[in-house]
Amino acid sequence: MRGGRDFVVSSHGRALRRAIAVPAVFLAGAAHAAPLFEITPSLSARYDSNVARASDEIAQKRGIKPADWLLSPSINIQLDKALGSQSIYFNGDVGYDLYARNHVLDRERILLDGGARLHFSRCAATADTSLDLHQSDLSEIVDAATAKNTENVRKIALDVQCGGPIGIIPFAGASRTWASNSSSERRFADYVTDQGQGGLAFAGPTFGELAVIAQVRTTDYPDRNGFGLTNHFHVFSIGGRYTRDVGSRLNASISLSRTKVDTAPGFPTFTGLTSNLNVSMVASDNLKLQANWTRSVDPVSLGFGDFAIDSRSSLDADYGLSPLLTLSAGAGTVHRQIEGESFFLVPQIQREQRLFAYARLSYARSARTNISLELRHERRRANPSSFNYDTTSVGLVVRMKF
C-alpha cells in the first residue's frame, strides 16, 4: 500500500527518476547510524474500485476490469554496515502482485538499491546503483494502448563532496538512467538519461546550508527514429537550495532553479522555474507534519509526448493516539502538462490533474509487528476526458521485522 507521501514522490518514475531534484550531495559525509540488518516480510490485501485508473471506455480498450481485489506478499531486506572509515548499504524489496480478476496485471515487483560511502582525505563520495522492475503504474499510462507492461528502470550514480561540515563545500555528481518496457507497443517510450551537476555549498551551525547548483541533463528516446517524434531533449538548470533546522522540531528546505528545455528544431521548448519545497515539523510529542511541493521536467516514460512538466504537492500528518496506535492522514495533487504532438490516431493525455486523500490507522503490536488499515480516494480530470477516473480503495497490511 502506498501512502500519500510515497505517491507524490514516486508515482511518476519513483525516486529513481527525479532528474531535476536538487541533490543533497553535501550530506554524503554525515555520520552513519549503528550497523543495521533487518528482514521484513509483509502481506497486503486491498480492494480497489478502479484498478484501471481510467474511464470505462479506456479500461475496455486496455482489457482491464475496473473493480478488483489485490494480494501482495513481499519481503524487504536492509543492510548498512561500516567497514573502517568506509561503509556499504543495501535496500531490497521483492514482492508479487496477484489480482483476483485481472490476471494480466499479475507481476513481480523488484526494487534493489545499494552502494558504498567512501572517505578519502577531506572528501567523501557516494557510489550508488539501483534496479526497479514492476508492472507499469496504470495511473501513469497516458494512452489507450495495452496495460500489460513490465517497466525496467536502472540507474548508476556517483556524488562527491569535499570539505568539512562547516564552511565552503564544493560538490559534483553524475548519473545515468535507463528505462525500458517489455511491451513492443511501448518501446518508443524507452529512454536513457545522462545527468551531471555541481556547485558550492556554505554550511554554518546556526545559518543552515546554502548551495548554488548547476545541472545538465540529456534524455534520448532510442526507439523513436522514424515515428515523426523528437528522439531527445536537453535540460539546463541553475539555481540554489537552502536548508535549515530550527531547533529539534522544524526542518525546512527550499530550492529554486531557472530551467531551460531544448528539443529538436520545430518541437516544443520550455523556459521557466522548477522548484522543491519540503517542511517537516514535530508539532507536539504526538503530532508530526510534513508538506511537499515540487515542480520538475521529466521524460514521458509511458506516452508519446516529448517531455512533461509536473507539479506535485502533498500534506501528511501522523498523530499518536496511544503508544500502540497511530493515525495518519494526507492529501495532495498532481498536475501534468505533456509537451509534444503525436501523429498516432489514438487517445492520449495532453493535460491532467489528480487529487488524492488517504487515512491510515496503524497498530504496533510490538517493536517487530505492525498492522495497518488504509482508506484512499483518488480522482483524475484530464484532457481528453476519456481518461478521467475516480477510485476508492481499502487495504490491510501486516509487517513483521526479524
Instruction: Compute CA 174 distance to the chain's CA centroid, rounded to the nearest angstrom.
Output: 19
Q: How many Å from the N-terminal Cα to the C-terminal Cα in the chain? A: 21
pLDDT digit string (tens) for the chain, length 402 residues: 334 334 333 333 333 333 333 344 444 444 445 688 999 999 999 999 999 998 998 899 888 999 999 999 999 999 999 998 899 999 999 999 999 999 999 999 999 999 999 998 889 999 999 999 999 998 888 888 888 999 999 999 999 999 888 899 999 999 999 999 998 888 888 999 999 999 999 999 889 999 999 999 999 999 887 656 678 899 999 999 999 998 889 999 999 999 999 988 878 899 999 999 999 999 999 999 999 999 999 988 777 788 999 999 999 999 999 999 999 999 999 999 998 765 555 678 889 999 999 999 999 988 899 999 999 999 999 988 888 999 999 999 999 999
Distance (Å, whole) CA 357 – CA 305: 28
For the beta carbon of residue 391, count every other beta carbon within 10 angstroms. Answer: 20
Taking the alpha carbons of 46, 52, 54, 57 in that order, is the dihedral positive or negative? Answer: negative
Residue 303: what residue type?
G
Distance (Å, whole) CA 82 – CA 15: 25
Cell of residue 378, nine digits: 483518488
The confidence score (pLDDT) of residue 268 equals 87
Give the Å distances, CA to CA, from 329 to 11, 269, 290, 335. 18, 38, 11, 21
pTM, entire model: 0.85
Q: DSSP of 308-324, one letter per residue?
A: EEEEEEEEEEEEESSSS
Residue 295: what residue type?
R
The confidence score (pLDDT) of residue 175 equals 98
For the beta carbon of residue 352, count every other beta carbon within 10 angstroms. Answer: 19
- In our burial notation (b when 16+ CB lie closer than 10 A, e otherwise), range 14-25 reads bebbbbbbbbbb
Q: DSSP of 119-145, one letter per residue?
A: EETTEEEEEEEEEEEEEPPGGG--BSS
Distance (Å, whole) CA 105 – CA 99: 7
- In our burial notation (b when 16+ CB lie closer than 10 A, e otherwise), range 152-182 reads ebbbebbbbbbbeeeeebebbbebebebbbe
Burial class (CB in 10 A: 0-12, 13-18, 19+), 367: exposed
Strand 389-400 relative to strand 68-83, pairing: unpaired
Residue with cell 554554518: 204
Distance (Å, whole) CA 375 – CA 357: 9
**What is the 8-class DSSP label of residue 348?**
B
Instruction: Compute CA 208 distance to the chain's CA centroid, rounded to the nearest angstrom.
Output: 26
Into how many domains does the chain fold? 1
Under a CB-based contact definition with an 8 Å cutoff, are residues 386 and 53 in contact? no
How crowded is the C-beta side of 154, counted as CA atoms within 13 Å?
Answer: 4
The domain in which residue 206 lies consists of 4-400
Cell of residue 313, nine digits: 504537492
Report cis status (omega within 30 of 0) of the bond before 384. yes
The confidence score (pLDDT) of residue 144 equals 81
CATH code for the domain of 239: 2.40.170
Under a CB-based contact definition with an 8 Å cutoff, are residues 301 and 13 in contact? yes
The confidence score (pLDDT) of residue 341 equals 61
Distance (Å, whole) CA 319 – CA 65: 37
**What is the 8-class DSSP label of residue 240?**
E
